[in-house]
Amino acid sequence: MNETRHRVLDALADGPVSGPELADELDISRSAVWKHVEALREEGFEIGSGDAGYALDSVPEFGASAVEYGLDAPFSVEYHDSIPSTNARARDLAADGASGTVVLADEQTGGRGRLDRDWSSPSGGVWLSVLFRPDVPMAHAPVFTLAAAVAVTRAAREAGVEASIKWPNDVLVRHGDGERKLVGILTEMEGEADRVSWVVVGIGVNANVDPADLPDEADPTSLSAERGEPVDRRLFTQRLLEEFDALRQDPADVVEAWREYATTLGQRVRVETPGGTIEGEAVDIQFPGALVIETESGTEIVSAGDCEHL
Ligand code: BTN
């Protein structure tokens, strides 16, 4: 959202304010004020106009301006009602040189998960990808996946859902009958060994989605199913992006934050790694994201794999 439009919204939120007052305050013409008001209405902001002037009556439920308005993080948001995959779009933007962009969608028609699996993304979710260019070596990039897991866990908890993290990047809700998946994270990147060029962190949150509409294998849940009512996707997305922004700037602190929410530590696990299966007790995590497992034959440090809690 451009700076002036943001200032128009701020003034309207404190409204009512007349067109001439707004024009004076923002140092723009009255017709420019009118154009901004009309453009905001087009985007779903409800702006009343009475005798005392304009006032902001409501903010749209979701969308680029809705999320950018009041967002305390330096991201610009590109919104799509429907798109094949926000990660694919973010990769294209990366190739064009963009940075600090969040691609956000209500629905994905070709969502991708880890290990090239499909990721079901019906309307009502929070499907987003954050594109940025951190100044770190490639080997440190896994820490941003952990940061995303922590950020989304904190946002879910603020929304009243007791989420926790399964290594490396599943966010789950524990129930008496087991664990149900709430969020998946897919990080992609490009660069050279000593420096990342770009990172795309894709976060798929089953927000206001009926778990019955998601594939059974994942044992899915959603924020709305856990809460018994829909979540405010705008506020949830803002909290998620603000937490992620703070964490990405302090990679060294991410591992400690991750430990706080991890369900994997202290559990018996089976991890399918590219080099074979490792079974034992997960005892710790190491920067930038490796799992430390005590097995019968000694300590194993696992950087990547599919983890099952036993
Ligand atoms: C997983 O397999 O658990 C990871 C799923 C990641 C899904 C998200 S939804 C937003 C972004 N766009 C995609 O196509 N995938 C990621």
pLDDT tens, position by position, 51-103: 889 999 999 999 999 999 999 999 999 999 999 999 999 999 999 999 999 99
By DSSP bridging, strand 195-205 and strand 126-132 are: antiparallel
Average pLDDT over residues 274-280: 93
Query: How high is the pLDDT of residue 15?
Result: 77
Atom 7 in ligand 1: which residue has the minimum CA distance? 204
Same-domain pairing of 152 and 233: yes
CB 270 within 8 A of CB 277: yes
Alpha helical stretches, state H, 56-172:
64-68, 86-95, 142-158
- CATH code (residue 130): 3.30.930.10
Ligand 1 atom closest to residue 112's alpha carbon, by position in its atom list: 14
How do residues 137-157 score in pLDDT, each as one tens digit? 999 999 999 999 999 999 999
Query: How high is the pLDDT of residue 198?
Result: 98
Same-domain pairing of 248 and 286: no
Same-domain pairing of 181 and 243: yes
Q: Of the ranges 38-47, 162-171, 196-205, 265-274, which is most confident?
A: 196-205
**How far is it, in rounded angstroms, from Cα 289 to Cα 287?**
5
Same-domain pairing of 78 and 193: yes
Mean pLDDT over the full length of the chain: 94
Same-domain pairing of 153 and 199: yes
Same-domain pairing of 191 and 43: no
Ligand 1 atom closest to residue 115's alpha carbon, by position in its atom list: 2
Same-domain pairing of 204 and 148: yes
Which pLDDT band holds residue 178 (cuts at 50, 70, 90)?
Answer: confident
Same-domain pairing of 185 and 298: no
Pocket-testing residue among 85, 106, 119, ligand 1, by greatest number of atoms within 8 A of Cβ: 119
ipTM of the complex: 0.99
> Considering 261, 277, 300, which residue would you say is the last residue of a domain?
261
Amino acid letter, 60:
P
Same-domain pairing of 282 and 224: no
- CATH code (residue 299): 2.30.30.100
Same-domain pairing of 110 and 222: yes
Q: Is the pLDDT of residue 2 over 90?
A: no
Same-domain pairing of 133 and 236: yes
Ligand 1 atom closest to residue 183's alpha carbon, by position in its atom list: 3
**How far is it, in rounded angstroms, from Cα 225 to Cα 207?**
9
- CATH code (residue 20): 1.10.10.10
Average pLDDT over residues 167-188: 92
Same-domain pairing of 201 and 88: yes
Print the domain residue range for 38: 3-58
Query: What's the number of domains the chain is made of?
Result: 3
Ligand 1 centre to CA of 221 (Å) is 15
> Considering 43, 58, 73, which residue would you say is the last residue of a domain?
58
Q: Is the pLDDT of residue 274 over 90?
A: no
| Pocket (CB within 6 angstroms of ligand 1) | 85-87, 108, 111-114, 117, 119, 121, 127-129, 184-186, 202-204
